[in-house]
Chains A and B, each alone.
Chain A
Amino acid sequence: MLERLFSFLFKYRPIVFERGELGFASPWPAWLLAAVALALLALAVVPYLRTRRLEWRDQVVLASLRAAAFAILVLCLARPLLVVATVVPQQNFLGILVDDSRSMRIVDHAGSPRSEFVSEHFGPDGSPLLSALAERFKLRFFRFSESSQRVSDASDFGFAGRRTDLGGAIAAAQRELAAVPLAGLVLVSDGAENGESVLTESLLQLQASGVPLHTVGIGQERFAKDIAIRRANPPRAVLRGSSVTVDLTITHSGFGGKTVQVVVESDGRILSTRDVDLPRSQEATTARIHFTADETGPRLFRFRIAPEEGELVAENNSLETLIDVQDARRKILYFEGEPRWEVKFLRRALAEDENVRVVVLQRTADDKFYRLDVEEPDELAGGFPATREELFRYDGLILGSVEASFFTHDQLNMIADFVGRRGGGLLALGGRRAFAEGGYGGTPVADVLPVVLPAGVRRDTSGFVSEVKVGLTPFGRTHAVTQLAADERASEDRWNDLPPLTTVNRVTELKPGASTLLAGDAQGLSEPAVVLAYQRYGRGRAMALPVQDTWLWQMHADIPVEDQTHETLWRQLLRWLVSGVTNHVSVTTSADRVESGTTVTLTAEVSDSGFLALNGAQVSATVSAPSGAERDIPMEWSVERDGQYRATFVPAEDGLHRMTVRAEQRGTLLGSDVAYVQSGDLNSEFIDAEMNASLLRRIADETGGKFYTPGTVASLPEDVSFTESGTVVHEQRDLWDMPILFIALLGLVGAEWAYRRTRGLP
């Protein structure tokens, strides 16, 4: 409507003004025009200035109105025009790139599938749009999805492509049409990009060659009714039997206020369910799902929400992730400075955990140690490890009530390195010889801890002790470590029922970047006492649990004998503490699941026996395909980071691929690690499948093209004609006869007349 009005007033469509350059082609010389202009100005102004009856304000208004009218006349005499480049008919090529991916089947184009637009306008039966384009250009069609190919016309499209690779499609079309005069490219797509190519690179090439890319967006920018699981953040690997927490990002439109059920499945078995209230606004919501991974091996976990009535896309209601459920055994050293009940009950809680072994070294008297569950006769025979090599054998370290002065300075540094460099998990327990009360303030261990050790508190003999009623923090409410029941509400109820513990450590302040899971009010402390907190430190994790009797959660009379709270908490806590701990070689993949034919990047971190990043290792990956076929891929140092090696490969088959990475140094094996990737049909086309108008608009803007919708596409053929690309002629289009000029002239004359009437002038 606006464009039509513009065209009426200014004679041409806005694009002509956008593309054209303003010029003048008066048959009169410039000096003559200037003289005429001056004469007309005098004619406009002088008579009014000489009319003495008029006030000065009237003189100014009337003289200005007449001068403006004369100015328009002078402008017309100057013969303004637009010089615009237009294509020479049939001398140029136009590439039409049609999206042939699955998302084009979505029924959100005026009640029909998106593909209907393609058939209607670009199909073999012809259409006014196609005819208009064909009149001006030689048309070349391309279909694209995960790959791109030239086709004779837009018939026989299957709309079955598993991905939309816009960057690849643009680059391919440009390559194909590089040798011909190319007036532009037209991209017909929903813009639901999920390809591998880097779009920016393709656009830069287009910009360099000056080829405009016009985009036609099909589909709705927001589905009227849809629920989608957009993203999940699963851990790469967990120990068998671990409680796994995954955050799902769920979006919806048209279902505000509704409660839906998220189901977690593996191998057809339902592992967990959770009700999620969809927000009234259309914002994304995050749902935290807990389940137990109890089957060993690389496992696919599927999260799904049953499709609701009227949903446009059902495929985006589910999402799968691959988690390596490991039957590994993590070893934790628990060093306790005095006999305490925590030792007994912690050992009991972990006794049946086959994946976490706790070795206890307990100081029972000065220079007398009691070793429990050691694997070799000489393990810890000399007391607490004196070398990094000895300490770094463990994946986790629990420090009980043992004063800092027990350790040498090197041992304190070693403990810090255990977390920061080796990537181990450290848990500091409360006690009279722990934290600031144990003299840890200012030591390397204090740097590692997630809590601030209060200044001024030293080896404490004041006998501070307080009861702490422990409660979940908002963060702890959803954290895997503190989940005591199947759902968060039941878990919170359980926490509220637990009896209080005691603390002898004044720990209330967190370090920046640390998180608290449990806290409680304690007498004598102005702030709530921290009960469980953690932070990342270097490659590892450090946790603080400054209470001294979690065993009460097993023994207290309020706890039923068969209750598993204490066991569950400790198992979850220690598993989490060591869950990300790696050895000398650790490998990750760019994705856990990929569409067939997608490149997978393997990244390995390699360190030497002292856990220092190593750049000169020989690292290779053996990829085992589902058929059993194996191939070796060398991995090169990435240069970006010490100890980081990379390789890429494309899975040759659909199914589960196992990548075993081995690192050697001078013929000695440093270590190996395994990662998995699942290749196949991921339904990627139905994730984020709404029409991506902002992307399509950006592509058009950056290349000098225009963005169209089915409603505006009719002007495409004419617009495409105005281009500097290809074989063009420069047309002159007169502007002096624009209706707007005549309307303005009439308006000014009319205004002058009306003003004179109101002022009583003849």
Chain B
Amino acid sequence: MSQIAAVRAGRAFYFTRAQYSGYQSGRFGDSWAVDFPKADRQFLVGLRHLTKIDAYELENPIRLDDPALRQYPFLYALEVGYMGLSAPEVAGLRDYLLAGGFLVIDDFWGTRQWENFETEIRRVLPEYDIVDLSQDHPLLHAFYDIDEILQVPGRGRGVGGRPTWERDGYLPALRGIVDARGRLMVVINWNTDLGDAWEWADDPWYPLQFSNFAYQLGVNMIVYGMSH
């Protein structure tokens, strides 16, 4: 959405999706656009219904090197195993995060994809370490009290009742990057696929426990991100 349109709408929250450069493109689309825009819209239906957040109803993709990115302090990126950022994107994302932006990473699996993401994010924030978010982290209690981190499977595995893991990503992880003052800048959902759970929450065959969890964690991340 353009800056002017956003201003016209004057809404408090935009579910903004990072439109990054990557290695995967072609017939199935770019990796940044996986589940797009249905996951975004469907999640927003839930978010608007469950909370008081004045959220814009539609998707809001934006390039990392677009200066307008800075007007949307919440950013969602997925399939970061295929991320390959250009130099302007690195600079854009770095300034965004240091200024106060909040990035949620989702839907990437296994060691190789982790390594790719880690390499890319180190280019953005070389001075900050990635840390595990413990079970008592305030993010997990910002709206819902989440006592356990579930592994949310992609649509195929969820609907098919198959094991939830992909590649060698057997265990889900909730990690983060905090700045020098201890403020969370990046939330990393590894070995899990919240986006698919949002996208297919309307599929009667997709297990409710996973979509339910994905909404809960999604809402918590946003409520936390909007207040910390």
Q: Which of A344, A370, A558 contacts B100 (CB 8 A)?
A: A344
Q: Is B37 located at the chain interface by the 8 A CB criterion? A: no
B1 within 8 A of A: no
* Residue A629 lies at the interface, judged by CB distance under 8 Å to chain B: no
With A and B bound together, what is the CA distance between A370 and B101 in angstroms? Answer: 21
Contact A365 B51 (CB under 8 A): yes
Using an 8 Å CB-CB cutoff, how does the interface string of B1-12 with A read, 1 for contact, 0 for none?
Answer: 000000111101
| Beta-carbon contacts under 8 Å, B41-93 to A | 50-54, 67-71, 73
Contacts of B54 in A (CB 8 A): 338, 340, 432
B143 CB–A CB distance under 8 Å = yes
The count of chain A contact residues (Cβ–Cβ below 8 Å) is 37
Contact A555 B51 (CB under 8 A): no
Check A337 for interface membership: any CB of B closer than 8 A: yes
| B159 contacts the other chain (CB 8 A) | no
Is A366 in contact with B228, judged by CB distance below 8 angstroms?
Answer: no
Contact B95 A339, beta carbon cutoff 8 Å: no
Docked CA distance A463–B56 (Å): 13
Does A4 make an interface contact (CB < 8 A)?
Answer: no
B10 closest partner in A (C-beta)? A465
Contact with B along A449-476 (1 / 0, CB 8 A): 0000000000000010101000000000
Given contacts A366-B52, A557-B67, contact A340 B226 (CB under 8 A): yes
Instruction: Determine if B12 and A340 form an interchain contact, defined as CB atoms under 8 angstroms apart.
Output: yes
Closest chain B CB from A357 CB (angstroms): 16
A340, A370, A557 pick with most chain B CB within 10 angstroms: A557
Give min CB distance, B3 to chain A, whole Å: 10
Task: Tell me if B187 counts as interface (CB < 8 A to partner A).
Answer: no
- Contact residues, A478-503 vs B (CB, 8 A): 502
| A370, B142: Cβ atoms closer than 8 Å | yes
Complex contact B7–A467 (CB within 8 A): yes
Contacting B181 at CB < 8 Å: which of A338, A351, A558, A561? Answer: A351
Known contacts A344-B228, A348-B183, A364-B223; A339/B99 CB under 8 A: no
The 8 A CB mask of A67-102 against B (1 = contact, 0 = none) is 000000000000000000000000000000000000
**Given A339-B222, A341-B73, A343-B226; A364-B143 close (CB under 8 Å):** yes
Give every chain A residue within 8 A of B181 (Cβ-Cβ): 351
Is residue B209 contacting chain A, with contact meaning CB distance below 8 A?
no
Contacts of B8 in A (CB 8 A): 465
Task: Tell me how far the C-beta of B198 lies from the nearest C-beta in chain A, rounded to whole angstroms.
Answer: 19
Distance of A497 from chain B, by nearest CB (Å): 15
User: Contacting chain B: which of A111-119, A231-239, A546-554?
Assistant: A546-554
Q: Which of A432, A467, A555 contacts B101 (CB 8 A)?
A: A555
What distance in Å separates the Cβ of A552 from its nearest Cβ neighbour in chain B?
7
Q: Does A556 make an interface contact (CB < 8 A)? A: yes
User: With a CB–CB cut-off of 8 A, which chain B residues contact A366?
Assistant: 52
A338 B12 Cβ-Cβ under 8 A: yes
Closest to B53 in A: A339
Q: Does B227 contact A (CB under 8 A)?
A: yes
Contact with A along B193-215 (1 / 0, CB 8 A): 00000000000000000000000
CB neighbours (8 Å) of B143 from chain A are 364-365, 368, 370
A362-B8 Cα distance, complex, nearest whole Å:
26
B131 sits at the interface (CB 8 A): no
Q: Is B225 an interface residue (CB 8 A)?
A: yes
Distance in angstroms from B187 CB to nearest chain A CB is 14
Residues in A neighbouring B70, C-beta threshold 8 A: 555-557, 559
**B136 nearest CB across to chain A (Å):** 15
B13 at the interface (CB under 8 A from A): yes
In the complex, chain A residues 695-710 whose Cβ is within 8 Å of any chain B Cβ: none
| Chain A positions within 8 Å of B95 at CB level | 557, 561
Contact count band on B: 20 to 34
Are A556 and B71 touching (Cβ within 8 A)?
yes
B71: chain A residues at CB < 8 Å are 552, 555-557
* List of A residues within 8 angstroms of B225 by Cβ: 344
Q: Which of B51, B99, B226 contacts A341, CB < 8 Å? A: B226
User: In the complex, what distance in Å separates the CA atom of A555 from the CA atom of B225?
Assistant: 14
Chain A residues closer than 8 Å to B100, beta-carbon distance: 344-345, 348, 551, 554-555
C-alpha spacing A502/B54, complex, angstroms: 15
Contacts of B222 in A (CB 8 A): 339
Q: Are B227 and A343 in contact (CB under 8 A)?
A: yes
Interface presence of A530 (CB below 8 A): no
Inter-subunit contact B7/A338 (CB<8 Å): no
Q: How far is it, in angstroms, between the C-alpha of A575 and the C-alpha of B68 when the chains are bound? A: 32
A593 touches B (CB below 8 Å) = no
**Whole-angstrom CA separation of A534 from B158 in the bound complex:** 57
**CB-CB nearest in chain B for A368:** B143
> Which chain B residues border A339 with CB–CB below 8 Å?
12-13, 51-53, 222-223, 226-227
In the bound complex, what is the Cα–Cα distance between A552 and B50 (angstroms)? Answer: 26
Interface assignment of A422: CB less than 8 Å from any CB of chain B: no
User: With the chains together, A299 CA to B195 CA distance in Å?
Assistant: 59
Q: Does A416 contact B (CB under 8 A)?
A: no
Q: Is A551 a contact partner of B73 (Cβ separation < 8 A)?
A: yes
Complex Cα gap A467–B227 (Å): 24
| Candidate in A351, A363, A366, A555 with the most chain B CB atoms within 10 angstroms | A555
Q: Chain A 366-382 against B: per-residue CB contact (8 Å), 1 yes, 0 no?
A: 10101010000000000
With A348-B100, A370-B223, A557-B68 as contacts: A365 and B52 at CB distance below 8 Å: yes
Distance, CA A338 to CA B101, complexed state (A): 19
CB distance from A406 to the nearest CB of B (A): 11
Flag whether A504 is at the interface (Cβ < 8 A).
yes
Chain B min CB distance to A459 (Å): 14
Q: A340-B226, A360-B227 are in contact. Are A561 and B99 (CB under 8 A)?
A: yes
A465 close to B12 (CB less than 8 A): no
Q: Are B73 and A344 closer than 8 Å at their CB atoms?
A: yes
The answer to whether B52 touches A337, judged by C-beta atoms less than 8 angstroms apart, is yes
Is A541 interfacial (CB-CB < 8 Å)?
A: no
Contact (Cβ within 8 A) B7 A502? yes
Question: Shortest distance in angstroms between A548's beta carbon and chain B's nearest beta carbon?
Answer: 7
Q: Give the complex CA separation of A728 and B53 in angstroms.
A: 96
Q: How far is B51's CA from A16's CA once the two chains are assembled, in angstroms?
A: 95
Q: Which residues of B contact A401 (CB under 8 A)?
A: 12
Known: A339-B13, A365-B50. A555 touches B99 (CB 8 A): yes
B-contact 0/1 string along A316-353, CB 8 Å cutoff? 00000000000000000000011111011101100100
**A344–B68 Cα gap in the complex (Å)?**
19
Minimal beta-carbon separation of B53 from chain A (angstroms) = 5
Specify which chain B residues have a CB less than 8 angstroms from the CB of A559 in the assembled complex: 70, 99
A345 to B100, CA, bound (A): 8
A338/B99 in contact, CB under 8 A: no
A502 to B10, CA, bound (A): 7
Is A465 a contact of B7 with CB atoms below 8 Å?
Answer: yes
The residue in chain A whose Cβ has the minimal distance to the Cβ of B9 is: A465
Minimum Cβ distance to chain B for residue A243 (Å): 23
Tell me the complex Cα distance, A502–B12, Å.
11
A364 lies within 8 A of B228 (CB): no
B68 to chain A, nearest CB (A): 7
CA gap between A244 and B62 in the complex, in Å = 43
Query: Chain B's nearest CB lies how many Å from the CB of A698?
Result: 64
* Complexed CA–CA distance, A551 and B101 (Å): 11
A418–chain B nearest beta-carbon distance, Å: 24
Mark contacts of B116-147 with chain A using CB atoms, 8 A cut-off: 1 yes-contact digit, 0 otherwise.
00000000000000000000000000110000
Chain B's closest residue to A432 (CB) is B54
Q: Bound complex: CA of A294 vs CA of B52, how far in Å?
A: 41
Question: How far apart are A384's CB and chain B's nearest CB, in angstroms?
Answer: 14
Within 8 A of A (CB), among B141-190: 142-143, 181, 183
Between A and B, 8 residue pairs with Cβ closer than 8 Å are: A338-B52, A340-B54, A344-B226, A364-B223, A467-B7, A555-B99, A555-B100, A556-B71
11 other contacts beyond A339-B222, A559-B70, A561-B99, with CB at 8 A cut-off? A337-B52, A338-B54, A339-B226, A340-B226, A345-B100, A348-B183, A365-B143, A368-B143, A370-B227, A557-B70, A561-B98
Q: Which 4 A-B pairs give the minimum distances between C-beta atoms?
A: A465-B10, A557-B67, A338-B52, A557-B70
Residues of B within 8 A of A (CB): 7-10, 12-13, 50-54, 67-71, 73, 95, 98-101, 142-143, 181, 183, 222-223, 225-228
